[in-house]
Structure 1
Amino acid sequence: MFVSEIFRSLQGEGKNQGRPCTFIRLAGCNLRCAWCDTSYAQEGGRNMSVGEVLDRVWLQNGKHICITGGEPLLQHDEVLELLKKLSLHGYSVEIETNGTRDFREMQPYASICMDVKCPSSGARSDLRLLAHITPRDSVKFVVADEDDLLYARAVMNRCEIRGEVFISPVEGTDRRAIAEQIVKENLPVRFQVQLHKILGIK
């Protein structure tokens, strides 16, 4: 599998925000989002076997893993093999995905965080996948402006989402205005800023 990096940090977003975590960032992505903050992982990476990845993970402390990218589900078979082995060793795993690849085979072994792409990103997620989100999973909308927030509201009105929903502002946008609009409309979401960027860590 093609790996961009493996590192230890705090989870900066999602349901496990603030928890120590080992990140497995896979290389390769099928989207080119306008505000991507990991463009270095869109291609390239080091070719590693699942066993080599496991060896690197075992050298880290802790049992919480986040598999991210790029888009990790482009490497479906290798990720599934990795998940099964991590599960056998008692790891808790979450996968961050852009919502363009079916994640159902992964759900017995990991929670899913589906990043639904808003208009400002210039990309689209497959909204049909929202039907497969479970209460242990989550959905994230990264929003840059009111149009993105309107889009997120429309998606939530149209699609039943059984997992927790997060609204995260694009870095450098008017976070306060987005937060105020969420309060005004009483949206059923949790507003969340990216903790790792506030702290200046990876």
Structure 2
Amino acid sequence: MIVSEIFRSLQGEGKSQGRPCTFIRLAGCNLRCAWCDTSYAWEGGEKMSVIEVLDRVWLLNGRQICITGGEPLLQREEVLEILKKFRLHGYTVEIETNGTLDFRDLQPYASICMDVKCPSSGERSDLSLLPFITPRDCVKFVVADDSDLLYARAVMTQCQIRGEIFISPVEGSDYRAIADYIVRENLPVRLQVQLHKILGVK
């Protein structure tokens, strides 16, 4: 596996927000989102075996794991191998993905958080994956402005999404305006600011 970093912190977003979590951030990404806050993981990283990653996670303690990136599904075979080992040892695992690669073979072992790319990102997700999101998974729209909100609303209208839906404002955007839009349009979402940035942690 090509690993950017492994660390322990609080989960800053998604269904497990606020819970202690061990993060495995894999290096490499197939997108270049305009507002990406982990661009250092686009390249580089340290080559580690699955066993080495497991040993590092074991030393950090905790049973909640988040595999993120970059885009972790670019290393699908290794991710699937480590997921099976985590399951054997009773870990709970979430995978954060940009919604460009099929995640169905991973769902028996982990919950999925699909980040649907909005116009301000400069990128696009594969919306045909949304019907495969289950109630144990979630979907996130990172929004910066009105055009992103309109896009998110259109996607929610056109696509069946069975998992919980989060609207996450880009850092520095008008949080109040985004909140007002959600209330005014009665969107079936939860507003979620990035807790780790408020706390000043990873």
Tell me the TM-score normalized by structure 1: 1.00
Residue pairs, 1:123-202, within 5 angstroms: 123-202=123-202
Partners in 1 of 2:43 and 2:104 — Cα distance? Answer: 25
Partners in 2 of 1:32 and 1:108 — Cα distance? Answer: 29
One-letter amino acid matched to 1:82:
I
- Unmatched segments (≥5 aa) in structure 1: none
Query: Deviations for 1:6-44, whole angstroms, at most 9, x for unmatched residues?
Result: 000000000000000000000000000000000000011
Deviation at 1:61, TM superposition (A): 1.6
* DSSP-derived class of the 1:150 partner: helix
Counting matched residue pairs gives: 202
Deviation at 1:153, TM superposition (A): 0.3
Partners in 1 of 2:76 and 2:59 — Cα distance? Answer: 24
One-letter amino acid matched to 1:57:
V
Query: Deviations for 1:145-186, whole angstroms, at most 9, x for unmatched residues?
Result: 010000000000000000000000000000100000000000
Partners in 2 of 1:40 and 1:77 — Cα distance? Answer: 23
List, as ranges, runs of 4+ consecutive aligned residues in structure 1 with deviation greater than 6 Å: none
Residue pairs, 1:34-183, within 5 angstroms: 34-183=34-183
Partners in 1 of 2:131 and 2:13 — Cα distance? Answer: 22
Of all paired residues, the percent bearing the same amino acid is 82
One-letter amino acid matched to 1:138:
C
Tell me the TM-score normalized by structure 2: 1.00
* DSSP-derived class of the 1:176 partner: helix
Root mean square deviation, CA, Å: 0.3
Deviation at 1:60, TM superposition (A): 1.2
* DSSP-derived class of the 1:141 partner: strand
Partners in 2 of 1:62 and 1:2 — Cα distance? Answer: 22
Partners in 1 of 2:102 and 2:181 — Cα distance? Answer: 32
One-letter amino acid matched to 2:66:
C
